Structure 1
Amino acid sequence: MIVETVGALAIGLAVAWLALRRLPHRLPEPRLVGPTGAAGGLLGAFVTHTALGGAQPLVILGGALVMAVALLSLLVRPAGRRPVGRTARPA
């Protein structure tokens, strides 16, 4: 169980690092992205471990990967987002 926990944490942090490298302009500051990825990995491992039992560590790490990606996708902002309060009005 320790190996699954450390693996899930490493997967979450790796996904967060990859997201920061690929989409730095569409994510909030890294102090929020890193812990979100780690929490997603741990939560995904916990849910998968609870649902399937502890006999399948690779499946549990796959659940950690899926949940980390899902939580980080909630932080991504749209590409063409305008600042709040600035709307273009027709002339």
Structure 2
Amino acid sequence: MIWESFGSVVLGLALSWAALRSLPDRLPPARAVYATGALGALFGACLTHSALGAGHPLGTLAGAVFVGMVTLSLLIRPRRRTLAPSAAAQ
């Protein structure tokens, strides 16, 4: 379980890094993104480990990646759009 936990935190940090590289303007500060990714993946590993039981390290890490991606997706802000004046306002 120790190695699964360590691996899930590393995978969560890698997901956070990838999210910050691909969507830098739509995410909060990097510190919050890294913390959310690591904790989300750790929670996912604990949840998956309790559901599958011992002896399924790849399944546990897959669950960690999935929950980490879901928690990181909750941080994404919508794009900022500039509103064009409507025809009625002109």
Q: Same fold (TM over 0.5)?
A: yes
The number of equivalent residue pairs is 87
Deviations 1:56-79 (A, max 9, x none): 000000000000000000000112
- What's the offset of the Cα at 1:81? 5.1
In the aligned structure 2, how far is the partner of 1:79 from the partner of 1:59?
A: 34
User: What residue is the counterpart of 2:66 in the other structure?
Assistant: 66
User: What residue is the counterpart of 2:52 in the other structure?
Assistant: 52
**Which 4+ runs in 1 deviate beyond 3 A?**
none
User: What residue is the counterpart of 1:42 in the other structure?
Assistant: 42
Q: CA RMSD in A?
A: 1.7
List alignment gaps of at least 5 residues for structure 2. Answer: none
List alignment gaps of at least 5 residues for structure 1. Answer: 83-87
User: What residue is the counterpart of 1:9 in the other structure?
Assistant: 9
Residue identity (%): 50
Structure 2 residue identity aligned to 1:60 = T
User: Computing the radius of gyration over CA atoms, which structure comes out larger, 1 or 2?
Assistant: 2
TM-score, scaled relative to structure 2:
0.89
TM-score, scaled relative to structure 1:
0.88
User: What residue is the counterpart of 2:27 in the other structure?
Assistant: 27
In the aligned structure 1, how far is the partner of 2:75 from the partner of 2:47?
A: 21
